[in-house]
Amino acid sequence: MDSQGKPPSEKQFEILIRMHADARRGLRLYYVYEKMKKFGVKPRVFLYNKIIDGLVRTDHLDLALSVYDDFRFDGLVEDSVTYMILIKGLCKAGRINEMMEILAKMRANLCKPDVFAYTAMVKILVSEGNLDGCLGVWEEMKRDGVKADVMAYGTLVTGLCKGKRTDKAFELFQEMKAKCFLIDRAIYGVLVESFVACGKVESACGLLKDLIDLGYQADLRIYNALIEGLCSVKHVDKAHKLFFIMLQDDLWPDFRTVNPILVSYAEMRRMEDFSKLLMQMEKFGFSVINDLSSFFSSFVCVEERIPIALDVFRDLKVKGYCSMSIYNILLGALKKSGDVKLVMSLFDEMKSTQIKPNSLTYSITIECLVALGEIKEACTFYNKIMEMSCLPSIDAYCSLAKGLSKIGEIDATMMLIRDCLASVMSGPMEFKYSLTILHATKSGQAEKVVEVLDEMVQEGFPPSDVAFRAVISGFCKHGTIEEARKVFSSMQQHKLLKESDAIVYEDMLVEHMQKKTADLVLSGLKFFGLERKLKAKECNLLPL
């Protein structure tokens, strides 16, 4: 255009700026602005505002401030939009001191920000979690004599509650009441939740009374928070009464409503009340079996509760509340706590019922059997999972691989690793590195394998038993015993392998090499048809 004697105009640059701003391409927008300067086009205040706003919105605040410096150098005068764009950007970046300077300029050169401008500042600072900045802006608003409206109060109260500054939030709430504002139920809700979170349940209950006195009806969120709070301070009977009040208000409870009550009854061993609540849940259409699964899942997160969970389950099982999901949750919790014998006991109990184990059940059991040293039975359960056309858990794969390694089943370990990586989307890094080690042994050089093991260490995966078994398997197939010994020696020098373990691996290496050699000899005899003659010769050598 310029070469044709038609240099681009400000309007044409504006079109490009608008397009990049709408597409949130901040750097391209700034590039167009730089082109404007090269062509000697000076933007108007409106276009400067558009450029600065586009850069602020795309988190390029420093570039926006540099454009603002050009704005001032051009002798242009800021309007309220210019100031507010900069103030919002500085608020979002947490640069409160600079924001206060811009605010002072706006106040001196133009006018005081109105309540909407201050509310916007508070909202941005709340979204960024900068509560000190929020309170600073609030004080500036008071200093300017700007009267906060319901929106401004509500924004700040909500932010303070989420930031666990409940006392300050309640102080502002009291100001709202003194000014006779119509307070939204949502504000009551965040205050109730905040009071419950900091253990001030009585204050939360007082807010409920206040809410009802004003003619409001509490929503499910408020009732759930209060019930949870009452249960946390051991007032479960009051929580149960509140549950009935909620039903009278035609509110439909959910699992979050009843779970705290169930937990309290379980901890207090009040199983009769626990069962009555389950019957009430059934009347209101709850899926009790599914909800009990959710209950046990959250209940056993605290290890000290696991014995209680087992007692509760035994009581419920007699009444017909039993499912495979609940069994799996309890088995998983017991396994995590290290009580593998109790896992096997519960598994045997499960087999005596009509509930059939699934792949998760078998996966948990495989880990426990490996821990007990019963590797062959663990392999049986692995085969059962395969027969079901399912897959074991990653933990079950890892556990079984380590178990097979310990009993010297190196080929079976490598086969399991390959099956896992072929079936699972994201297999364990330990398995991936084991295959890398096998590939490196094809070179027949110990140095290549040591490089892989060093990489494992650098990536935070120190060589394990499975990795060293891969070294043995690979060199017995593709290399020599001497090269494998060099690897173990190098690992000892780097203090990644104990001397006692190195001796074990040495014996295993020799044994595995002998086995592989014997297999090769037998394969050769079969190929040449000499196997029968060898057997006949052996028979002739037997004593009569």
> pLDDT per position in the chain (544 positions), as tens?
878 878 888 888 889 888 998 888 889 988 988 888 888 888 888 888 898 888 988 888 889 888 888 888 888 888 888 888 888 888 888 788 888 888 888 877 777 777 888 888 888 888 888 888 888 888 888 888 888 888 888 888 988 998 888 899 999 999 888 888 888 888 999 999 999 988 899 998 898 888 888 888 888 899 999 999 999 999 999 999 998 888 887 888 888 899 999 999 999 999 999 999 998 888 888 888 899 999 999 999 988 999 999 999 999 988 888 889 999 999 999 999 988 999 999 999 888 888 889 999 999 999 999 999 999 999 999 999 999 999 999 999 999 998 988 887 888 888 898 899 988 888 888 888 888 888 888 888 888 888 888 888 888 888 888 888 888 888 887 767 788 888 888 888 888 888 887 888 788 778 777 776 655 445 554 544 555 554 544 443 333 3
Give the CA dihedral 230, 232, 233, 238, nearest 10 degrees.
Answer: 30
- Asked if 195 and 201 count as a contact pair (C-beta separation under 8 A), the reply is yes
The DSSP output letter for 6 is: -
270's CB contacts (< 8 A; 6+ apart) are none
- Per-position b or e across 476-508, b if 16+ CB within 10 A of its CB: beebeeebbbbbbebbeeeebbeeeeeeebeeb
Cα(250)–Cα(100) distance, rounded to whole angstroms?
50
Angle at 221 (CA atoms; ends 220, 226), nearest 5 degrees: 95
- Residue 86, pLDDT score: 85
The DSSP output letter for 391 is: -
- Asked if 233 and 204 count as a contact pair (C-beta separation under 8 A), the reply is no
Strand, coil or helix: what is 241?
helix
Nearest to 339 by CA among 371, 362, 315, 361: 371
Q: Which two tokens stand for residue 170?
A: 């309640």
What is the Cβ-side half-sphere exposure of residue 315, based on CA atoms within 13 angstroms?
17
Cα(399)–Cα(6) distance, rounded to whole angstroms?
75
What is the Cβ-side half-sphere exposure of residue 74, based on CA atoms within 13 angstroms?
17
Residue 210: other Cβ atoms inside 10 A: 15
* Domain map (residue ranges) of the chain: 428-544
AA letter at 363: S
Q: Which two tokens stand for residue 127?
A: 């979204």
Angle at 479 (CA atoms; ends 477, 483), nearest 5 degrees: 130
**What global pTM score does this model have?**
0.71
- Asked if 230 and 246 count as a contact pair (C-beta separation under 8 A), the reply is no
Q: Which two tokens stand for residue 282?
A: 């059934």
- Residue 267, pLDDT score: 92
What is the sign of the dihedral through the CA atoms of 469, 470, 476 and 481? Answer: negative
- Residue 536, pLDDT score: 47
Q: What is the DSSP string of 496-522?
A: SS-HHHHHHHHHHHHHHHHHHHHHHHH
- Residue 335, pLDDT score: 92
Cα(405)–Cα(216) distance, rounded to whole angstroms?
67
The Cα-based distances of 482 to 301, 414, 490 in angstroms read: 50, 21, 12
AA letter at 456: M
